[in-house]
Structure 1
């Protein structure tokens, strides 16, 4: 029985219950029918005996010299017409005047007569000459209310049993109907339970729950189970950490829109659609999300969705660092190519015995190359930013773009994560390069300095000479997956990462059209009131 499915156990249990209930109801109905039959027989015999006792003919007969001669024919006729087994009229000393068997006339009545002699009628079950019977005994009273005789009318228990048994078919019909209805209902419920439990038994379900719960909390990826209504049925600790979910309350699922999830993830969970390797950006993480419907079989409706969430933040950070290294490598390659050309020029001038012109050319080239580096190093105390800007300048030169870098004053970047600054400046410049490459001016401007109204705020402006952005694009430009480059463009992750990095630093980012796209980033420094408010906020 332990190997039976839960549906079979439920069906057998229900069937046993229905059988027990039907048997109990049948027994109660049987006892009720028996009691009603005996009560009806008692009331009928009491009515017959009372009718005899109140009959003036009986009163006159019992007072005659030979009562039996008059009463026996009368009693026999009434017994035959009413179907009564016996009507016994007797003297107060129990001497019978009438009886079903005439040989018993004159004998002594067998039964209780004390209550009748006292003037009261009563009913009893007693064993007499005809066997056990249901009988009523009524006194015959004179005009002075004196007891002058007694009348006993009764039917045998066998006769009562025949009447009782006549009701048994109805009892069995009711029992059979209850059993049939109970069996059908149990069968339907068991079939529904079989579909709901996939035909598994209690031990299998228990073992499966323990195993799945262990797997749920042991995997390193976040796992979220939702029902068709978009409610979070179950999620593991990793998912709670990645999505900042509140502690799960068993049996009380909460809707995905009510737990503070990012809009893109909330829409995904409530939609129930399939997702494979989708990137979603929260305030501090980059997540890769996969989602599949939970379908027991091909023909069934989905029971919900299973969503796996993987933290891609560190990989994106490494990707940014690799991209930065590629930028620097490209810059070095471009500088090497340019220096080789310039070195060939200097050598050629020396060979032509034009040493003064060669010295002037070399000095001017050195001054131009060193000027940007000196300005950036003097203004920014972060070597990562310095290396990035030098590399981007070389990259712009290699792509035929004019990059103007303006660093106003000395910037204090202490307390800021250099990786966030690299993410912000690098991605904004990459987008500006792509936009400017398709324009006639092919110009990009980068301005970094402190805000005039608030010296504790760093302003980063990146503008390009591209086609600019429409109003709709300005609203969607920071959304994950959006790209103004069309289907062949990037996956739309760069500006989403910019917004994420700006949020981590407690700043803001805006975009406008000014003869091209113009991005403005405001970042509070470590000692500014804006950063303090953000830290407490």
Structure 2
């Protein structure tokens, strides 16, 4: 394509330059003719006003009197002929003496009317541009004419002298236009990687088909270059859906979620977990380099929202199953103890031993059943108490825990409370006095979920990072608990914060409307 463009541009520019050169030459020729007419008119008019010219015409020997004067004027002005004639139009002077005495070849009509005029006429010296002026005696009577001319051959010779400069300009124009065309074609070849138009068309068709066919989201981000701002070069349909972007048209970089706008420049990565307002996305990023310069980043997106929710619920169920298994094992031990105490004849003590744990557990169940309207949340809190006890952590559900009917769905409540409690239990396992305290209550139009523990806690900066990219106290993996909590809280326009005045405590505030 670059070669074809070079040929077309070169031919077009050559035609333009040559036509322009031809027009310029014609204009120069026209200007030269105009200048010649002006010059011969001035010489003719001036000669006709000389007194000796009028006297010579009517004198006894006109040729002897006028020929030397006419030749002197011709030599001084550079014209080709100065012809003086009488009213009978017989030449009295001529550069060729053999033409003296012969009739003048040309027109004198306007001069007889007293007008100096010019014409192009073929005379004895060939084609010429000539001017004819009337000659008057001192009394104003017409006595003859003066014809002054320059032959076409001389005009052409003058014009031909200017041709080298004109041709130089034309050649320079051709050279500049050819060089410009070459540079443009070279740049185009570099920008199109030397591909032909058909190859570019097929590449575009394949590119478009792939973008619409692949199931993963795909983004191509342009890197900031000098004063250039980062931007979105390519976005496919799946990426628009996952990121809630407009279905058509360009995508402003500012419309991307903050987690994608702030991708680190630490090389490539695979299976990074990023959270948007309502999705859990697993992304891969790969830097694109060209001629040693990073020009952008290719980002792939996979939706793991439902998978993460199911895995979270599976973890909760697994934890509850472990707690029930431990409780079953402990219950078997207690049952053997009670049977043995009965066999030893100590039934009263056996009854007291059997009902003590049941009474404490039943009291918690009765309280939560009355004060918490959502059965899933009640079951979660009861299960977490048992799970924490089996892991050696004292989990307390405070007495002011009370929550009526709210717009929050059961899954959302379980996500927020369950993840906050799990993180707290993980954080206190290695402390000397592991305890966790949970409060779920509604204050005016806001649901407050407060989880305090005896762990080291986290500063606001760590909490902010955990809300978008996940965080865990476990060194072996990168958790998503707080990020999922933040996602639910943000969905309702709430806030997730630490409470430094109470040590290690996280508070989730979720607006749910008036009571």
Q: Which TM-score applies when normalising by structure 2?
A: 0.86
* Alignment match, 1:481: 469
Q: Superposed, which structure 2 residues align to 1:14-29 within 5 Å?
A: 14-29=9-24
* Alignment match, 2:143: 148
Provide the C-alpha distance between the structure 2 equivalents of 1:92 and 1:235, rounded to a whole number of angstroms: 95
2:192 is equivalent to residue 197 of structure 1: yes
Provide the C-alpha distance between the structure 1 equivalents of 2:401 and 2:379, rounded to a whole number of angstroms: 18
Taking structure 1 as reference, are residues 218 and 53 closer, same or farther at Cα in structure 2, changes over 3 Å only? Answer: same
Aligned to 2:9, the other structure's residue is in SS state helix
Q: Superposed, which structure 2 residues align to 1:284-363 within 5 Å?
A: 284-295=278-289, 297-302=290-295, 304-346=296-338, 349=341, 361-363=353-355
2:494 is equivalent to residue 529 of structure 1: no
2:376 is equivalent to residue 384 of structure 1: yes
**Equivalent of 1:518 in 483, 500, 505:** 505
Provide the C-alpha distance between the structure 2 equivalents of 1:335 and 1:277, rounded to a whole number of angstroms: 38
Provide the C-alpha distance between the structure 2 equivalents of 1:431 and 1:177, rounded to a whole number of angstroms: 79
**Equivalent of 1:157 in 136, 148, 152:** 152
**Equivalent of 1:491 in 471, 478, 483:** 478
* Alignment match, 1:34: 29
Taking structure 1 as reference, are residues 58 and 298 closer, same or farther at Cα in structure 2, changes over 3 Å only? Answer: closer
Taking structure 1 as reference, are residues 113 and 385 closer, same or farther at Cα in structure 2, changes over 3 Å only? Answer: same
Deviation at 1:143, TM superposition (A): 0.6
| Alpha-carbon contact 2:401-2:439 (below 8 Å) kept | no
Deviation at 1:169, TM superposition (A): 0.5
1:279-303 C-alpha deviation (Å, 9 max, x unpaired): 23233222233344444x343451x
Taking structure 1 as reference, are residues 514 and 342 closer, same or farther at Cα in structure 2, changes over 3 Å only? Answer: farther
| Alpha-carbon contact 2:275-2:469 (below 8 Å) kept | no
Taking structure 1 as reference, are residues 431 and 50 closer, same or farther at Cα in structure 2, changes over 3 Å only? Answer: same
2:424 is equivalent to residue 435 of structure 1: no
| Alpha-carbon contact 2:220-2:234 (below 8 Å) kept | yes
Query: Which deviates the most, 364-373 or 115-124?
Result: 364-373
2:459 is equivalent to residue 465 of structure 1: no
Q: Superposed, which structure 2 residues align to 1:209-358 within 5 Å?
A: 209-227=204-222, 228=224, 229-245=229-245, 249-250=249-250, 254-256=252-254, 259=255, 261-268=256-263, 276-295=270-289, 297-302=290-295, 304-346=296-338, 349=341
Taking structure 1 as reference, are residues 309 and 477 closer, same or farther at Cα in structure 2, changes over 3 Å only? Answer: closer
Deviation at 1:276, TM superposition (A): 3.8
Taking structure 1 as reference, are residues 18 and 524 closer, same or farther at Cα in structure 2, changes over 3 Å only? Answer: closer
Provide the C-alpha distance between the structure 1 equivalents of 2:386 and 2:192, rounded to a whole number of angstroms: 66
Deviation at 1:426, TM superposition (A): 1.2
Aligned to 2:468, the other structure's residue is in SS state coil
Taking structure 1 as reference, are residues 152 and 337 closer, same or farther at Cα in structure 2, changes over 3 Å only? Answer: same
Provide the C-alpha distance between the structure 2 equivalents of 1:449 and 1:529, rounded to a whole number of angstroms: 14
Deviation at 1:334, TM superposition (A): 1.6
| Alpha-carbon contact 2:55-2:137 (below 8 Å) kept | no
Aligned to 1:95, the other structure's residue is in SS state coil
Provide the C-alpha distance between the structure 2 equivalents of 1:235 and 1:410, rounded to a whole number of angstroms: 47
| Alpha-carbon contact 1:465-1:515 (below 8 Å) kept | no
1:166-207 C-alpha deviation (Å, 9 max, x unpaired): 111010011111111222222223323333333334444444
| Alpha-carbon contact 2:259-2:276 (below 8 Å) kept | no
Taking structure 1 as reference, are residues 449 and 55 closer, same or farther at Cα in structure 2, changes over 3 Å only? Answer: closer
**How many residue pairs get matched?**
510
Provide the C-alpha distance between the structure 1 equivalents of 2:73 and 2:495, rounded to a whole number of angstroms: 114
1:417-467 C-alpha deviation (Å, 9 max, x unpaired): 22111111111111111222222221122233444xx3x654433221223
Taking structure 1 as reference, are residues 255 and 446 closer, same or farther at Cα in structure 2, changes over 3 Å only? Answer: closer
Aligned to 1:89, the other structure's residue is in SS state strand
Deviation at 1:317, TM superposition (A): 0.8
* Alignment match, 1:173: 168
**Equivalent of 1:395 in 353, 375, 387:** 387
Provide the C-alpha distance between the structure 2 equivalents of 1:174 and 1:243, rounded to a whole number of angstroms: 60
| Alpha-carbon contact 1:234-1:248 (below 8 Å) kept | no
Query: Which deviates the most, 391-400 or 19-28?
Result: 391-400
Provide the C-alpha distance between the structure 2 equivalents of 1:458 and 1:80, rounded to a whole number of angstroms: 116
Deviation at 1:142, TM superposition (A): 0.5
Taking structure 1 as reference, are residues 518 and 167 closer, same or farther at Cα in structure 2, changes over 3 Å only? Answer: same
Query: Which deviates the most, 348-357 or 412-421?
Result: 348-357
| RMSD (Å) for aligned C-alpha atoms | 3.3
Provide the C-alpha distance between the structure 2 equivalents of 1:47 and 1:511, rounded to a whole number of angstroms: 104
Deviation at 1:43, TM superposition (A): 2.8
Provide the C-alpha distance between the structure 2 equivalents of 1:403 and 1:448, rounded to a whole number of angstroms: 14
Provide the C-alpha distance between the structure 2 equivalents of 1:117 and 1:153, rounded to a whole number of angstroms: 16
Taking structure 1 as reference, are residues 17 and 255 closer, same or farther at Cα in structure 2, changes over 3 Å only? Answer: same
Provide the C-alpha distance between the structure 1 equivalents of 2:418 and 2:362, rounded to a whole number of angstroms: 21
| Alpha-carbon contact 2:274-2:282 (below 8 Å) kept | yes
Provide the C-alpha distance between the structure 1 equivalents of 2:247 and 2:26, rounded to a whole number of angstroms: 59
* Alignment match, 1:121: 116
| Alpha-carbon contact 1:402-1:442 (below 8 Å) kept | yes
Aligned to 1:392, the other structure's residue is in SS state helix
